[in-house]
């Protein structure tokens, strides 16, 4: 299995670690934006030094209850970090749902667009279908980040997430997007209860029948806090355990904050011969 992206054809026979780079500074008052940009670029370099395979840069928080960020603000946060990351020799993904951001980052050479809204925003699918080769991550979310945790309800979360991802995959293919450009993500924590998220992990293999690689992000999410009773800053071990369980259940890409720890765990997993193929 491969993931075709703008500059790289990523070999997914070895699990890939996508390092998270959030460029969502709280304050611009103290030297502000430049400091945020430089810190994010340094963070990119650190994640690569730790062995990250892919960088995922985001300029808008998607945590439950997060307020939307304007287009100008998101571009100002993301573009300078993207430009620097593109010189580092690894695939660079941009986490956005805004078609104008997608167009801007693809024009600058971004390798992947990671959309928690699965290209449902008007103009998003157009922007990506017009590009000849960028990678695409289609994620399932119910509702939007402001409201998604209010009443998450499903008859069968696996079936409903699977049907949604299949519909979005078909929408891309109908627009002429090559299938090798697309990976799918069940969207852990996006409009799902603790029980739904755990169902998605336990039965994750059912999603492999969609025929595309799975990208999964458990890192530091609230379900791990509910299980362990730990604050967000203390969820590294739980995050690594969840990433490993996801890979064991067929995920090809894990989206993580704690790259070094995740890579150590995957090395042990691979050395024990637990890797597929
Ligand atoms: N989770 C978050 C953001 N983007 N993209 C994909 N494909 N899958 C995910 O699970 C996913 C995602 C939320 O996590 P985080 O980046 O830690 O938080 P925030 O959005 O607040 O920056």
CA dihedral 64→197→232→261, nearest 10 degrees, is -130
Tens digit of pLDDT for each residue in 45-98? 999 999 999 999 999 988 777 778 999 999 999 999 999 999 999 999 999 999
Residue nearest to atom 5 of ligand 1 (CA): 116
Q: Model's pTM, two decimal places?
A: 0.95
Q: Which of 98, 181, 212, 255 is catalytic?
A: 255
Concatenated DSSP letters of 171-182: HHHHTT--GGGE
SS3 category, 204: helix
Return the pLDDT at 254.
98
Q: Which of 221, 230, 235, 276 is catalytic?
A: 221
Return the pLDDT at 141.
95
Domains of the chain plus CATH, in order, are 2-271 (3.20.20.20)
State which ligand 1 atom lies nearest to the alpha carbon of 217: 10
217 close to ligand 1 (CB < 6 Angstrom): yes
Tens digit of pLDDT for each residue in 142-192? 987 777 677 789 999 999 999 999 999 999 999 999 999 999 999 999 999
Mutation choice for ligand 1 from 47, 224, 239, 255, CB with most ligand atoms inside 8 A: 255
Return the CA Rg of the chain.
17
Q: Is 192 a catalytic residue?
A: no
Angle at Cα 37 formed by Cα 218 and Cα 83, nearest 5°? 90
Tens digit of pLDDT for each residue in 212-263? 999 999 999 999 999 999 999 999 999 999 999 999 999 999 999 999 999 9
pLDDT band for 30, please (50, 70, 90 cuts): very low
The Cα-based distances of 108 to 46, 47, 157 in angstroms read: 23, 22, 37
- Region 99-113 average pLDDT: 98
Maximum pairwise Cα distance, the chain: 52
pLDDT at 139 over 80: yes
Q: Is 221 a catalytic residue?
A: yes
Phi, psi at 56, each rounded to 5°:
-120, 110
The Cα-based distances of 233 to 17, 62, 72, 223, 264 in angstroms read: 20, 17, 30, 14, 19
- pLDDT, mean over the chain: 94
Mutation choice for ligand 1 from 58, 138, 183, 239, CB with most ligand atoms inside 8 A: 58
Cβ(221)–Cβ(240) below 8 Å: no
Q: What share of the chain is helix, strand, coil (3-state, %, to 5)?
A: 45, 15, 40
Ligand 1 centre from 273 Cα, in Å?
30
137 close to ligand 1 (CB < 6 Angstrom): yes
Closest residue by Cα to residue 60 from 105, 22, 104, 20: 22
Residue nearest to atom 8 of ligand 1 (CA): 217
Return the pLDDT at 3.
98
């Amino acid at each position: 299995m491969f993931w075709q992206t703008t500059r790289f054809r990523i070999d997914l026979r070895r699990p890939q670690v996508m390092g998270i780079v959030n460029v969502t500074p709280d304050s611009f008052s103290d030297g502000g934006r430049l400091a945020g940009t430089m810190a994010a670029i340094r963070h990119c370099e650190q994640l690569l030094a730790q062995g990250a395979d892919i960088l995922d840069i985001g300029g808008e928080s998607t945590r439950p209850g997060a307020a939307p960020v304007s287009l100008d603000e998101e571009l100002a946060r993301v573009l300078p970090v993207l430009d620097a990351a593109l010189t580092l020799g690894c695939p660079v993904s941009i986490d956005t749902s805004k078609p104008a951001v997608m167009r801007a980052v693809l024009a600058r050479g971004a390798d992947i667009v990671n959309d928690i809204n699965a290209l449902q925003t008007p103009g998003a699918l157009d922007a990506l279908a017009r590009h000849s080769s960028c990678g695409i991550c289609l994620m399932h979310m119910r509702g939007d980040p402001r409201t998604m945790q209010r009443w998450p309800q499903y008859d069968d979360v696996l079936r409903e997430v699977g049907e949604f991802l299949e519909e979005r995959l078909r929408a891309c293919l109908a627009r002429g997007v090559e299938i090798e450009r697309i990976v799918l993500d069940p969207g852990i924590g996006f409009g799902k209860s603790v029980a739904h998220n755990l169902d998605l992990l336990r039965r994750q293999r059912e999603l492999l029948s969609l025929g595309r690689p799975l990208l999964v992000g458990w890192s530091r999410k609230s379900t791990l806090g509910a299980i362990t009773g730990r604050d967000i800053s203390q969820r590294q071990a739980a995050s690594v355990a969840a990433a490993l369980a996801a890979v064991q259940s067929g995920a090809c890409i894990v989206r993580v904050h704690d790259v070094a720890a995740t890579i150590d765990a995957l090395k042990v997993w691979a050395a024990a011969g637990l890797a597929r193929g």
